[in-house]
């Protein structure tokens, strides 16, 4: 299981939890399982929300590997320039 | 991918060879967007709304169409419906539907045989408007009773009860800010504003479009990202993406503003209707009225600090408007706001607000300069209140590797402390100041980006190298990519040619944005070169009759290596390539990926200003940029990026602003009234390149294009405060504002 910390404006879509635990070995699997466990997060993720894994922004790299114990943040979409 | 720690001596990297595009540019041979032409070409002109907000009652183009030489008129009715999300926003911005949403919004377009006729015909198009109430100020747009730009535009993030113009809400942070403020000896809270500014690229948008009767099209345009242009234009026209081929021209500046489309779908629609090629070239007035400036911002910042300068908590509440559409960069502004600081307690709130302004586009580190202005101004105010050295306070609180960032994730290896130390050691920092002069410092950050990237590298029969890339060269990336290819292959820089190729030649490439080109395209080029080297070694091994594993690539040659490899003279790249047709076929390398590990860049700036107490005019008398480049591939280009960012930031701080009248119309849509700094306004901008290698790149590269615009806004404001004793919290700190503050 991977512990995912949510930005506070997303917590209302996950029963108010700051950190949720989901299964998954890649960014794509974790995002999919977040939606399965917390359907309210679907529009957040569809909008382009991304994970940061051990300080590295995953962006659109759904294949990026994640393992138990990694630091994982779910961030609302941050647009670059 | 780990940085090659063992290789810290480079043959090509770090040198300063001539730029490959230099000769064409100084001799006028380089072809920009407006230089393109085609047989039978028509010229397009766009009819624009003179109103900030109006319902389009009727468009009558009969008089225009009756003019000899006018071949087509298009309105929104000539584009299909059905776009969703951001595609709909782009369509609506390129051509208004039911309402004009800002001064300058396109409502129709004509194509005619000459540019002058097209302009006259555009004036002959009669548009009947019902003028509606408008709002251009971000704070007023959020208030009860403000005109609603578009009902139902808010996304999932906006809590109930907010004004419909609030379309996105963001909140994040960690720790307990109230506890942090209680632990402070001094807590200060102030509000700051910045106006919208334009990227100010010298080359206006231009394109040439040709749609065939078979539904396929070609487009030549100046852009930072032709795959984006292809996708967006295809969505507007309702055609499959692959039916459109887009070729980029040379580009006279972009700074983020050429990562989207404004005229391209319109030119394609005109071409489709007229069955002739159509060229559109924007005027400067059109560029300022109807292409993306950055957002306007209204920001509240609160910081707690102990007497010895330890920051105990920080809170930022930002409101930004990116015009009549969502996507003001409030998210990245907040992510950067406290990025320089190691804060146990930090809280951010952001509101993306719609108003009757043009649709904002990315502008060099979108959002970060405004955020830095607010936070770094308040830090400076607190240092003055507590009589602390602002640089020492920054060092005391600096984020470093292992720090929990203000956005949450833990920082990998970063170089903020190194930039602060280098600034502290620079002679500028301790140089004496003259009368009416003041000094300001500030730090800034941009997170950078990787993005979809595809590169091909092909070897010629003589061993020279062609690299095909998909990232338009807006800041020297052809030189840096050629240098990395030369380094990786062991060939001369002059033997590598880098071409920016059209959309049919490679897989999807994101634009040159997010300071990604040298990082991502460079990384892909190194990987493509590695593939080519493997093939070169295999060809040499076959010739020698030994295992490929017994061949190494060194100094541009294949060499036998290992105890059983045998004795053979090295085979050069030219010798192998001369026979490649007979030894297995062409030799090339290809790489495509969405690379991660892009590594953010921090910078610290020092500026001295002199303020004329009689006029309020500010002169920048000395300026020093210190920034982490990871590894400077071509130091002159890196320095140029540092200087360019500083110059744009100085303009933003001192003069540049969108000025709207009571009628909601832009009052200064020409460069005489919208004043960017020119060479005579600027001193020589000194630069210090700090190199803290990025572990995510084989050569340690960090993007450098954007961070440089972040510190100038607060650094200038801090220097003006030092010179005058007056703190100005709204940009630009223009002469009238300074004079009013001095005179009380």
Terminal Cα-to-Cα distance of chain A (whole angstroms): 34
What CATH topology corresponds to B22-29+450-593? Aldehyde Oxidoreductase; domain 4 (3.30.365)
Tell if the CB–CB gap between A78 and B335 is shorter than 8 Å: yes
> Whose CA is closest to B652, among B582, B742, B713, B725?
B713
- Tell me which chain B residues have a C-beta less than 8 angstroms from the C-beta of A80: 332, 362, 366, 447-449, 513-514
Q: Report whether B452 contacts B458 (CB < 8 A).
A: no
**Within a domain: A80:** no
- Judged by DSSP in three states, B425 sits in helix
**Within a domain: A8:** yes
**Within a domain: A65:** yes
- Judged by DSSP in three states, B588 sits in strand
> Whose CA is closest to B111, among B276, B249, B323?
B276
> Whose CA is closest to B282, among B384, B201, B382, B373?
B201
Write out the residues of chain B at the interface with chain A, using a CB-CB cutoff of 8 A. Answer: 155-157, 169-173, 256, 259, 327, 329, 331-332, 335, 362-366, 405, 407-412, 446-452, 513-514, 594, 596-598, 696, 706
pLDDT at B1: 45
pLDDT at B3: 44
Q: Report whether B262 contacts B291 (CB < 8 A).
A: yes
Nearest CA in chain B to A42: B156
Q: Report whether B575 contacts B459 (CB < 8 A).
A: no
Beta-bridge partners for B496: B465
Q: Report whether B306 contacts B312 (CB < 8 A).
A: yes
**Within a domain: A12:** yes
- Spatial distance between the Cα atoms of A64 and A67, rounded to a whole number of angstroms: 10
- Tell me which chain A residues have a C-beta less than 8 angstroms from the C-beta of B596: 56-59, 61, 64
Nearest CA in chain A to B225: A81
- Spatial distance between the Cα atoms of B252 and B281, rounded to a whole number of angstroms: 13
User: Angle at Cα B104 formed by Cα B101 and Cα B105, nearest 5°?
Assistant: 45
Q: Is the pLDDT of residue A77 over 90?
A: no
CATH architecture of B410-446+599-743: 2-Layer Sandwich (3.30)
Helical (H) or strand (E) element with A31: helix A27-37
Work out the average pLDDT over A16-39. 95
- For A22, the domain range is 2-75
Terminal Cα-to-Cα distance of chain B (whole angstroms): 58
- Tell me which chain A residues have a C-beta less than 8 angstroms from the C-beta of B327: 79
- Spatial distance between the Cα atoms of B391 and B533, rounded to a whole number of angstroms: 48
Domain count, chain A: 1
pLDDT at A47: 83
- Spatial distance between the Cα atoms of B33 and B250, rounded to a whole number of angstroms: 7
Q: Is the pLDDT of residue A17 over 50?
A: yes
Nearest CA in chain A to B408: A73
pLDDT at B7: 61
A44 to chain B nearest CA, in Å? Answer: 7
DSSP B455-523: EEEEE-TTS-EEEEESS--SSSHHHHHHHHHHHHHT--GGGEEEEE--TTSSS----S-TT-IIIIIHH
- Spatial distance between the Cα atoms of B652 and B669, rounded to a whole number of angstroms: 16
Q: What is the CATH number of the domain that holds A28?
A: 3.10.20.30
Q: How much of chain A is helix, strand and coil, in % rounded to 5?
A: 30, 25, 40
pLDDT at A79: 64
Q: What is the ipTM of this complex?
A: 0.94
CB atoms within 10 A of CB A31: 24
DSSP B367: T
Q: Please name the member of A60, A71, A81 whose beta carbon is closest to the beta carbon of B706.
A: A81
Rg of chain B over all Cα atoms, to the nearest angstrom: 27
pLDDT at B53: 98
Q: Do B22-29+450-593 and B410-446+599-743 show the same overall fold?
A: yes
| pTM exceeds 0.80 | yes
pLDDT at B98: 97
Beta-bridge partners for B557: B554, B572
Tell if the CB–CB gap between B405 and A78 is shorter than 8 Å: no
**Within a domain: A51:** yes
DSSP B622-690: EEEEEEE-SS-SSHHHHHHHHHHHHHHHHHHHHT----B-TTS-BS--STTTS----GGG---EEEEEE
Run means of pLDDT, 10 residues per run, chain B, 744 residues: 58 96 95 97 98 98 98 98 94 98 98 98 98 98 97 92 96 97 98 98 98 95 98 98 98 97 98 98 98 97 98 98 96 97 98 98 97 98 98 98 96 97 98 98 96 97 98 96 98 98 97 96 98 98 96 96 90 98 97 92 98 97 98 98 98 98 97 95 97 96 97 98 98 97 91
């Amino acid at each position: 299981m991977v512990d995912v910390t949510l930005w506070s404006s997303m917590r209302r879509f996950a029963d108010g939890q700051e950190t949720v635990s989901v299964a998954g070995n890649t960014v794509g699997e974790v995002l999919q399982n977040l939606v399965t466990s917390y359907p309210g997060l679907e529009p957040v993720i569809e909008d382009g929300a991304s994970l940061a894994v051990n300080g590295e922004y995953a962006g659109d790299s759904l294949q990026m590997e994640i393992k138990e114990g990694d630091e994982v943040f779910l961030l609302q979409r941050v647009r670059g320039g | 991918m780990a940085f090659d720690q063992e290789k810290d001596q480079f043959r090509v990297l770090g040198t300063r060879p001539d730029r490959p595009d230099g000769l064409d540019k100084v001799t006028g041979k380089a072809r920009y967007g407006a230089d393109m032409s085609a047989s039978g070409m028509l010229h397009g002109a766009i009819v624009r709304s003179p109103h900030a907000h109006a319902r389009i009652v009727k468009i009558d183009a009969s008089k225009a169409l009756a003019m000899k030489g006018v071949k087509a008129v298009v309105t929104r009715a000539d584009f299909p419906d059905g776009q969703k999300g951001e595609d709909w926003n782009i369509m609506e911005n390129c051509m208004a539907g039911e309402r004009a949403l800002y001064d300058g919004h396109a409502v129709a377009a004509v194509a005619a045989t000459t540019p002058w006729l097209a302009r006259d015909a555009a004036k002959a198009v009669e548009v009947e408007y019902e003028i509606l109430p408008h709002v251009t100020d971000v704070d007023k747009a959020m208030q009860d009773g403000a005109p609603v730009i578009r009902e139902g535009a808010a996304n999932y993030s906006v809590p109930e009860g907010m004004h419909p113009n609030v379309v996105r809400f963001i909140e994040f942070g960690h720790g307990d800010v109230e506890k942090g403020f209680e632990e402070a000896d001094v807590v200060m809270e102030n509000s700051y504003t910045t106006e919208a500014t334009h990227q100010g690229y010298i080359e206006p948008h231009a394109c040439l479009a040709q749609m065939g009767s078979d539904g396929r099209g070609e487009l030549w345009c100046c852009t930072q990202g032709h795959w984006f242009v292809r996708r967006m234009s295809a969505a507007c026209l309702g055609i499959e993406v692959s039916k459109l081929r887009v070729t980029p021209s040379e580009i006279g500046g972009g700074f983020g503003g050429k990562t989207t489309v404004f005229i391209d779908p319109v030119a394609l629609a005109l071409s489709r209707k007229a069955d002739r090629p159509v060229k559109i070239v924007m005027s400067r007035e059109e560029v300022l009225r109807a292409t993306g400036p950055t957002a306007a911002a209204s920001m509240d910042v609160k910081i707690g600090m102990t007497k010895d300068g330890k920051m105990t908590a920080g809170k930022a509440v930002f409101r930004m408007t990116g015009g009549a559409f969502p996507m003001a960069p409030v998210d990245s502004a907040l992510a950067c706001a406290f990025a320089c600081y190691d804060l146990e307690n930090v809280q951010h709130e952001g509101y993306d607000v719609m108003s009757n302004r043009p649709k904002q586009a990315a502008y060099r580190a979108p959002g970060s300069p405004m955020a830095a202005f607010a936070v770094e101004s308040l830090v400076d105010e607190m240092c003055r209140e507590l009589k602390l050295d602002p640089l020492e306070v920054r060092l005391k609180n600096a984020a470093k590797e292992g720090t929990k960032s203000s956005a949450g994730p833990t920082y990998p290896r970063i170089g903020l402390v190194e930039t602060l130390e280098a600034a502290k050691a620079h002679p500028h920092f301790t140089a004496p100041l003259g009368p009416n002069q003041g000094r300001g410092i500030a730090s800034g950050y941009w997170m950078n980006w990787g993005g979809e990237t595809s590169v091909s590298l092909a070897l010629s029969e003589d061993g020279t190298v062609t690299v095909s890339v998909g990232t338009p060269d807006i800041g020297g990336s052809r030189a840096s990519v050629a240098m990395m290819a030369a380094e990786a292959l062991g060939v001369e820089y002059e033997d590598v040619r880098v071409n920016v190729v059209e959309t049919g030649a490679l897989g999807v490439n994101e634009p040159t944005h997010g300071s990604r080109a040298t990082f991502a395209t460079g990384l892909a080029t190194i990987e493509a070169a590695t593939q080519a080297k493997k093939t070169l070694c295999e060809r040499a091994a076959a010739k020698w009759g030994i295992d490929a594993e017994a061949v190494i690539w060194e100094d541009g040659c294949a060499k036998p290596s290992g105890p059983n490899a045998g004795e053979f003279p090295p085979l050069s790249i030219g010798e192998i390539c001369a026979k490649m047709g007979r030894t297995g076929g062409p030799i090339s390398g290809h790489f495509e990926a969405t690379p991660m590990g892009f590594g953010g860049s921090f910078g610290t700036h020092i500026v001295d200003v002199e303020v004329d107490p009689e006029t309020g005019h500010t002169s920048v008398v000395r300026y020093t940029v210190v920034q982490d480049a990871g590894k400077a591939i071509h130091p002159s280009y890196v320095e140029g990026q540092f200087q360019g960012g500083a110059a744009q930031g100085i303009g933003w701080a001192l003069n540049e602003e969108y000025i709207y009248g009571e009628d909601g119309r832009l009052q200064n849509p020409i460069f005489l009234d919208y004043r960017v700094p020119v060479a005579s306004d600027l001193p020589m901008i000194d630069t210090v390149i700090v190199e803290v290698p990025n572990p995510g790149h084989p050569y340690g590269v960090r993007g450098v294009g954007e961070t440089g615009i972040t510190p100038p806004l607060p650094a200038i404001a801090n220097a003006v405060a030092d010179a005058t004793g007056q703190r100005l919290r709204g940009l630009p700190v223009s002469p009238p504002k300074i004079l009013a503050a001095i005179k009380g």
